[in-house]
Amino acid sequence: MYKLKEKYTISVFTEDVVGILNRVTIIFTRRKINIESIAAGESELDGIYRYTIVITECEENVIKIIKQLEKQVEVIKAVYHLDNDVVFQEIALYKVKTSVLASGGKAENIVRAHNARVLTVETAFTVLEKTGHKEETQSLFEELKPFGILEFVRSGRVAITKPMKTLASIVEAMEKETESQDNISNLFNLK
């Protein structure tokens, strides 16, 4: 049976411990699922990290992955969403020769049309920043390409979910249910 593959954003909330990123990615690599983008950072709660992972898979497999993620001892919560259910953004940086922008007209118009920001101007180069969905940052890339791009980088997707249940309420409920000794968990964070 053909199963429709779609783009899913998976948000994983974990304790702040060494190695947890590896445990998370193993779940995907073991099943030979390519991680299209990943962004990691602290969440709104102290000591809880948030990973935003984008994959293209069928929902049935995504659900299995979510369960495997949540099975990991130090994963607090994992959720998945289609693009409609998240507000997401990526950031891209472009390094171009300053002379390209200074040569008048065309390149400057492209930058304006895309609402890109100028982050720094040096004699030799200028760094532009553009946030948006991949298609938007890619479109600026394509238009600047003829002028020569010295360096380009794009971040992984970061996403905020539309459903309103807060992480704090989820964590609170879990702490109640598990008779958690967070004083001890915290001791692992001896730096």
Partner 1 sequence: MVKNNEKKKISGAQAVVKCLIAEGVDLIFGYPGGAIMPVYDALYDVEEELKHVLTRHEQGAVHAAQGYARATGKVGVCIATSGPGATNLITGIADAQVDSTPLVCITGQVAAHLLGSDAFQETDVIGISMPVTKWNFQVTNAQEIPFALAKAFFIARSGKPGPVLVDITKDAQFEPFHFNYTTFTGMRSYLPIPKFNKGMCEKVIEQINEAERPLILFGQGVILGNAESEFKDFIEKSGIPSAWTILGLSALDSDHYLNVGMLGMHGNYAPNKLTNECDLLIAIGMRFDDRVTGNLEKYAKQAQIVHIEIDEAEINKNVFANYPLIGDVKEILPYLTAHIEARTHPEWLQQFRELEKEEIEAVIYQELNPVVDQLSMGEVLNLINEVSDNKNVIVSDVGQHQMITCRYAKFKASKSSITSGGLGTMGFCLPAAIGAKMGEPNKEVIAIVGDGGFQMTLQELGTIFQFKTAVKIILLNNEFLGMVRQWQELFFDKRYASTTMINPDFQTIVAGYGIETNKVKQRKYLKGAIKTMLDFEGPYFLEVMVGKENNVFPMVATGDSVADIRLK
Is 4 an interacting residue with respect to partner 1 (CB under 8 A)?
A: no
Instruction: With CB under 8 A as the rule, give the number of residues binding partner 1.
Output: 32
Which residue is listed with tokens 């994983």?
12
Q: Which of 15, 94, 101, 110 binds partner 1 (CB under 8 A)?
A: 15
Cβ at position 179, least distance to partner 1 in Å = 4
Closer residue to partner 1 (CB): 87 or 188:
188
Q: Which of 33, 35, 36, 68 binds partner 1 (CB under 8 A)?
A: 68
Q: How many CB atoms lie within 10 A of CB 134?
A: 16
The residues pairing with 97 across neighbouring beta strands, listed in sequence order, are 125
Q: Which of 3, 5, 67, 117 binds partner 1 (CB under 8 A)?
A: 67
Cβ at position 23, least distance to partner 1 in Å = 6
Give residues with Cβ within 8 angstroms of 58, minimum separation 6.
3, 4, 5, 6
Contact flags string 152-191 toward partner 1, x per CB under 8 A: -------------------x--xx-xxxxxx-xx-xx-x-
Q: Which stretch binds partner 1 (CB under 8 A): 14-22, 90-98, 102-110, 143-151?
A: 14-22
Which residue is listed with tokens 């994992």?
78
Closer residue to partner 1 (CB): 27 or 101:
27
CA-CA distances (angstroms) from residue 153 to 3, 133, 149, 158? 33, 14, 11, 15
- By the 10 Å C-beta count (0-12 exposed, 13-18 middle, 19+ buried), 46 is classed as exposed
